[in-house]
Structure 1
């Protein structure tokens, strides 16, 4: 029954993804008034979760194939409307993104905690 505990790996991946999302969002907010700054974004968790694993491991970000050991997606520039000063950051969008990341992180911790409780109960501890 407990040979493969993928729920723990998935919950941890969601927590790490939402932490990266929060970091990218805070970087965007910090540079909201910087002329020419292009806002960054990362793909949704569902997109990164369903990507097939290549089986190769990258040791540097400049490698063409493989994934870095942490498995987190690389941020890319946002394709959005540009302000007159060349900035693409929208504070409203960043606020919504930060709240979504916070909710996803709380969800991941809740899933991890409840499954750990279930596992402990099944072991009789």
Structure 2
């Protein structure tokens, strides 16, 4: 029943996006000492959703703007530009920690939206 409501789909997409961003941050931190490793990042959900990111979202049904049905999801990762260390590694632990905090906030925001929508739905049905 609730799966067809757009707010739940959006909250779920936000949470999945935050999970993907956290995986990229964790991979960057894990490879902080790997020679020639290039740090990667995923644009924030608001940028991807608004279409201001450099990639497009996947088309999942007819009528979606900007693509054809069955178009594969594009990889949202991009290389972070920055000053590399002497071994060629471009990971900055400080930047990755800041990204991890930002991702945590995005995930918490998605859960808050989901919880609030559930509360509104329960209230409208007369349940507490």
TM-score where L is the length of structure 1: 0.80
Partner of 1:94: 96
1:39-78 to structure 2, matched below 5 A, reads 39-51=39-51, 53-58=65-70, 66-68=71-73, 73-78=75-80
1:38·1:89 contact (CA, 8 Å) conserved in 2? Answer: yes
CA distance in structure 2 between the aligned counterparts of 1:73 and 1:99, rounded to whole angstroms: 22
1:48·1:73 contact (CA, 8 Å) conserved in 2? Answer: no
Residue 67 of structure 1: how far off its partner (Å): 4.1
**Structure 1 residues 11 and 82: alpha-carbon distance in aligned structure 2, compared to 1, 3 A threshold:** same
Unpaired runs of 5+ in structure 2? 57-64
Alpha carbon RMSD of aligned pairs, Å?
2.1
Residue 79 of structure 1: how far off its partner (Å): 1.5
Partner of 2:61: none
Unpaired runs of 5+ in structure 1? 59-65
Task: Count residues with an aligned counterpart.
Answer: 113
Higher relative contact order (CA 8 A, sep 6+): 1
- Provide, for residues 48-81 of structure 1, a one-character-per-residue CA deviation record: whole Å limited to 9, x for no partner: 10227334245xxxxxxx342xxx7521211111
TM-score where L is the length of structure 2: 0.78
CA distance in structure 1 between the aligned counterparts of 2:114 and 2:28, rounded to whole angstroms: 29
1:15·1:104 contact (CA, 8 Å) conserved in 2? Answer: yes
Report the secondary structure of 2:121's partner residue. Answer: helix
